[in-house]
Amino acid sequence: MSLRAAVLGHPISHSKSPALHLAAYAQLGIGISYTAIDVTEGLLPSLMGQIRDQQGWRGLSVTMPLKTAMLSQVDEVRGVAKTLGVVNTVSFEDHNGTRRSIGSNTDVAGIVNAVRHAGSAAAPSAVVLGGGGTAASAVAALKELGTAHAQVFVRDTSRTADVRAAAEALGVDLEIRSLTDAARPTASADVVISTLPPRAADGLAAEVAALKTPTPGVLLDVAYDPWPSLIATVWQSGGGAVVPGLEMLLYQAVEQVRLFTRRGDDVNAAVIDVMCDAVGLPRRAL
């Protein structure tokens, strides 16, 4: 029986997930195919129905705009995904001839490991840009990094249900404000996590540059295409450390590979190095 996995989202043609996963499976010597499937929220139930009826599926990576919609499509939601209501990973487990789909969230681990790898301060003062599902994961990651209070800047303050619910469940105090007020707090924060779409932070980047103040903290920009983003360029010129979204993608994919292969302990530094090679990231050892 051939083994399969895929990344789901819309649009999806730009995804680097196939390169990451296929490099890992080749290094491990496991024959799992991995493709990108373009699917909208409206078509997700139909696709999941097909996948349930097909043998050999090991897992699904879930990206925008499906991370909340996937909640209702799995048999069980575990861990921080249950707390946040945000699923970016579906794995399949077999028990006594019955297959169950399990929803989980590896975005939180991806953010935590990416920010730590960049040398973030302990219990950092924090700013999150954006208020959707990935921002909810960012709040959970900040809690794990020791942050009890975060400022969240959004384009529309009425559309912050995901991040508010996450903060309430996790016990993180949020201050939600308009993106138009973000420049000075962003420039002075220890950690800034931008969950905005590509180019959506360009206006803020120009405002931060106009301040002509140092940006000494760590910026993780989840958007990785085009790269470098304008805000990443401005941040680096102010002296701060920049973490490309590819770093987060790498670390969340590492956790997915562990789930999909069911060989968690074998996903070691050598596997992570070939995953880095596949997307042009520097090698590292965890």
Q: Which residues of 259-279 are buried (b: 16+ CB within 10 A; e: fewer)?
A: bbbeeeebbeeebbbbbbebb
Q: Are 74 and 104 in contact (CB under 8 A)?
A: no
Structure tokens at 257: 């590979």
Give me the phi and psi of 171, to 5 degrees please. Answer: 75, 30
Annotated catalytic residue 67:
yes
Catalytic residue among 67, 82, 143, 212: 67
**Strand locations in the chain, DSSP E?**
3-9, 32-38, 57-62, 76-77, 89-95, 98-104, 126-129, 149-154, 173-178, 191-194, 218-221, 241-244
Strand partners, 128: 152, 193
Report, as residue numbers or ranges, the catalytic residues. Answer: 67
